[in-house]
Structure 1
Amino acid sequence: MKKLQKIGFGGGCHWCTEAIFLSLIGIEKVKQGYIASVGKNDSFSEAVIIHFNPKYISLKTLIEVHLLTHKSTTKHSMRHKYRSAIYTFYKNQNTLTNSIISGLQKDFQNQIITEIFTFNEFKASRQQITITKTQKNLFARIL
């Protein structure tokens, strides 16, 4: 029996982000759409929810991939739509995520601006693109 965990990532186009994570071993499912947190961060921004098996891929690896595949050190005018964020689902995930980012900071020339938020709500994209994972390739199809 697989014990899957979840984590949310925001930072760029959710379709592109979905494709990156589906290419990794240990990722079971990626849902793309919009995520909101709580309080002043309750507005929705593009993001994905990753369902992963920690037996095959660590949270640290996922966070590192996330930070390296979007502008995690750059503020820009579209941050309201493309919030650089990690959305946590479990109490211990927030503390662990903060520790992982602090440890990875030494590998970045500029300050990481990615924020950690508690997951609150998800809305799927109106137009879904299905990305199929095969042995050699990823294929995208608009539904």
Structure 2
Amino acid sequence: MNKIQKIGVGGGCHWCTEAVFQFLKGVERVEQGYISTSIEPEQFYEGVIVHFDPGIIDLETLIRIHLQTHQSKKNHSLRSRYLSAVYTFTKEQFSEAENILDRLSRENIDFITEVFYFGKFRESREQIRNYYRKDPQRPFCKRYIDPKLKIIQDDFVNYLK
């Protein structure tokens, strides 16, 4: 039996990111909130912490899904709020995530997504956690989250719960 691991990711609205990872096999829990890097512990960005079973879904697959479900290729005016990042908890995880991003960049596209050591976490208030699951018919869900879930259905169907 594999030990549950965790990784932080961010890049877009945490409502969207939370929903994407909640639909994946092997993901035990998703914590929605605000994450800082170890470099800037007082600067927080929207993100989630994904608790996953690496025997069911590995780090590379999680990173691939993350890169395809947010704007990971370009900067935009809200980057100060939505850092395109993978937040790691160990030296081994940091190295693995960097290697995955380097390899994927060489394969096709240069991502702006960076790897950081996890700093701190502040959980979102209860009212906005599980945003999609509480009411998937909301206009925000239809406009922004459904297209991301469609990407998973099209490109990662074997990983859907």
Any residues of structure 2 matched to 1:35-114 within 5 Å, and which? 35-40=35-40, 42-109=42-109, 111-114=110-113
Deviation at 1:106, TM superposition (A): 3.5
- Name the % identity: 48
Any residues of structure 2 matched to 1:105-124 within 5 Å, and which? 105-109=105-109, 111-124=110-123
- With over 3 angstroms needed to count, the CA separation of the structure-2 counterparts of 1:41 and 1:78, relative to structure 1, is farther
**Would you tell me which structure has more helix in proportion to its own residues?**
2
Inter-partner Cα distance in structure 1 for 2:42 and 2:91: 19
Of residues 134, 137, 158 in structure 2, which corresponds to 1:141?
A: 134
Partner SS for 2:134: strand
CA RMSD across the alignment: 1.7
Letter of the structure 2 residue corresponding to residue 68 of structure 1: Q
4+ residue runs of structure 1 moved beyond 6 angstroms? none
Partner SS for 1:99: helix
Deviation at 1:15, TM superposition (A): 1.0
**Would you tell me which structure has more strand in proportion to its own residues?**
1
Partner SS for 1:80: coil
Query: Who is 2:7 aligned against?
Result: 7
Inter-partner Cα distance in structure 1 for 2:9 and 2:111: 14
Structure 1 gaps of 5+ residues are 132-138
Inter-partner Cα distance in structure 1 for 2:43 and 2:107: 31
**Number of residues paired by the alignment?**
134
Letter of the structure 2 residue corresponding to residue 37 of structure 1: T
Letter of the structure 1 residue corresponding to residue 118 of structure 2: F
Structure 2 gaps of 5+ residues are 136-161
Query: Who is 2:130 aligned against?
Result: 130
